[in-house]
Amino acid sequence: MAESMKSAVLRYKGILLAVIVFAAVITFVPSLHDKSVNQPLQPTGKFTPYKPPGEGLSGTTVGGYTCTPGRRQVPWSLYAPYCVPKWTGNNGGPTAPGVTATTVNVSVNYASSGGLCSILASTESKSIASEALFKKMINTYVALFNKDFELWGRKVVIKYFNGQGCYVSELLGQDQAQAEADAQTAASLNAFADTSMLYSAPPYDTALAQKHIIAIGGEFMPHSWFQQNAPYEYSTIASCSKFMTSVVQIVKNSINGLPAIYAGNKSYHHELAKIGLIYPSAAFLAPCAQQVKSELKADHIPITATFVYDISNFGNISSEATAVMSDFHQKGVTTVICGCDPETPSFMANAAAQQGYYPEWIPMTLGDGVTRGIMNSTTDRAEWANAITNFVQSTPPQDQEYTLAYKIATGHQLHGLINVVTAGGVYSDILLLFSALQQAGPDLTVQSFQRGMWSLPPSVQDASMGGWAFLPGHYTTPSNFMISYWDNNARGAVTNGQGAFIACNHGELYAYPGYKGASLPPGKQLSCFGAGGSSKPWVPPPSAIPK
């Protein structure tokens, strides 16, 4: 393999880690003084929410828990559907491909074959889950959920296979043929659904939809992609379309028309913010970048400078970074929005620091775990001391739902960073899969699965994985977001390393469009970096910690 390709792979190692850690550290516990305000809007139009047989009745669940109206299926989850008493009856048998009277087949693709993934595995063996660990975590949670969730006489059966594709290659727009071959393998396993989680990429998920297999994945794809592949695609991570609406809200309400007080260059503190935008040319992300540009334009917010980079050629990005930062600096950009992969911000930060350029940074893909290597760089740390993002403040593993579920399932505590990261990465997708299967009722089809998904009750909105809510036409679970800043001196809740994101605005939650909840107050500076009392990590209220 050419040296440039090796270099690209080594830099791109953060992509998988980003996916894993994003799922693990997307958990946060902000403040909600009035939880009623963050309940989602009621479904409108012709959609009628589905109520499974037994929902709202009293009795004992299949897992042996006491069920009363309004309680969750399991007491340790703030996201599970409302409980139903243990059901007996005729579920209709083989109601859909991959479904029998006693089983639901779910495929899991360990897509780590090929040259790119082989190099990645050899260089990052301590950061990436082994196949054995990946399967162990899935099996642990599936066994627990099979026991405690009402699946109407059925059990989920996991069908593992080692795919031909490589998740890294697929993220780079390669291995299309391999992704299609892997989807064919899932079909040959008679899968009703697939939850490959950490090893899921857009080409594979798209190919699954073409095979009429439900995919719980769709990491960070545009809303249009979910629509095009409906009713087969769902995700516990916000679509990039939804995610970018929070970026626009931050810029519109808390940056535009206000001095750039969080820039490292003090001269900017007296200047009104000027926006610079950096994003990749990847086809599946382009609609979201265009969304930011068009929405800012609609609000008459100018973008002073833009840089679009080729995500498939990292060898060029490091060399281009100096010219890009020089251009932004000369144009007086005070605030840089970087809707980037996990590695590109580091290139830009180094180039900016070499020029004595310290703007406000709004990196869109960084989190405690993803940045633990980046933040070891002195130049990066100096730059990111000015970083604000819509990433979340993470909470300690002991306050996480996946940790409690693991202990209930195994009788043991969850220890070690790689174990914690892997457990967090797989838990939310498995939880969503089982929740929708329960809510679908006995007559399980692709259509009843979607109806069940859209009928799920909202979570506690300040629970550890953020607010989840379900509306017709929505394919991703998050209903709210948080704003945070990077503190070089804080201790990472997940990594226990130096440096972490800390909540701004006292940990307040802000609703995505379509959901009720607080909105960012217009024309008001964010309270970050110790301003306004946000100098300490947010402490989760007892109601948001699973018991």
For the stretch 104-127, pLDDT in tens is 999 999 876 665 576 555 544 455
Asked if 227 and 250 sit in the same domain, the reply is no
**Is residue 392 over pLDDT 80?**
no
Q: Is residue 307 part of a domain?
A: yes
Q: Is residue 19 part of a domain?
A: no
Asked if 269 and 221 sit in the same domain, the reply is no
Q: What is the mean pLDDT of the chain?
A: 82
Asked if 82 and 147 sit in the same domain, the reply is yes
Strand ordering across the sheet containing 335-338? 303-309, 275-280, 335-338, 360-363
- 422, 20 Cβ separation under 8 angstroms: yes
pTM for the structure as a whole: 0.88
513 vs 91, higher pLDDT = 91
**pLDDT above 70 coverage of the chain, percent:** 81
Asked if 367 and 434 sit in the same domain, the reply is no
Asked if 364 and 507 sit in the same domain, the reply is yes
What's the confidence (pLDDT) of residue 310? 82
Q: Is residue 11 part of a domain?
A: no
Interatomic CA distance for residues 266 and 269, integer angstroms: 5
Interatomic CA distance for residues 495 and 455, integer angstroms: 36
Split into its structural domains, the chain has a count of 2
Q: Is residue 23 part of a domain?
A: no
Asked if 216 and 267 sit in the same domain, the reply is no
Interatomic CA distance for residues 336 and 453, integer angstroms: 37
Count of beta carbons in the 10 Å neighbourhood of residue 547: 8
Alpha helices in 211-285 (DSSP H): 223-228, 240-254
Asked if 56 and 177 sit in the same domain, the reply is yes
Asked if 54 and 184 sit in the same domain, the reply is yes
Structural domain boundaries enclosing 444: 30-239+398-455
Amino acid symbol at 387: A
Q: Is residue 9 part of a domain?
A: no
Asked if 180 and 279 sit in the same domain, the reply is no
> Which of the listed residues 439, 455, 471 is the one where a domain comes to its end?
455
Asked if 232 and 358 sit in the same domain, the reply is no
Arithmetic mean of pLDDT, 506-522: 89
3-state helix, strand, coil in the chain (%, to 5): 40, 15, 45
Q: Is residue 461 part of a domain?
A: no
Asked if 234 and 247 sit in the same domain, the reply is no
Residue 408 maps to which CATH number? Answer: 3.40.50.2300
Asked if 347 and 414 sit in the same domain, the reply is no
What's the confidence (pLDDT) of residue 48? 86
Over residues 135-149, the pLDDT tens digits come to 999 999 999 999 999
Q: Is residue 206 part of a domain?
A: yes
**Is residue 292 over pLDDT 80?**
yes
Q: Is residue 112 part of a domain?
A: yes
Interatomic CA distance for residues 291 and 247, integer angstroms: 10
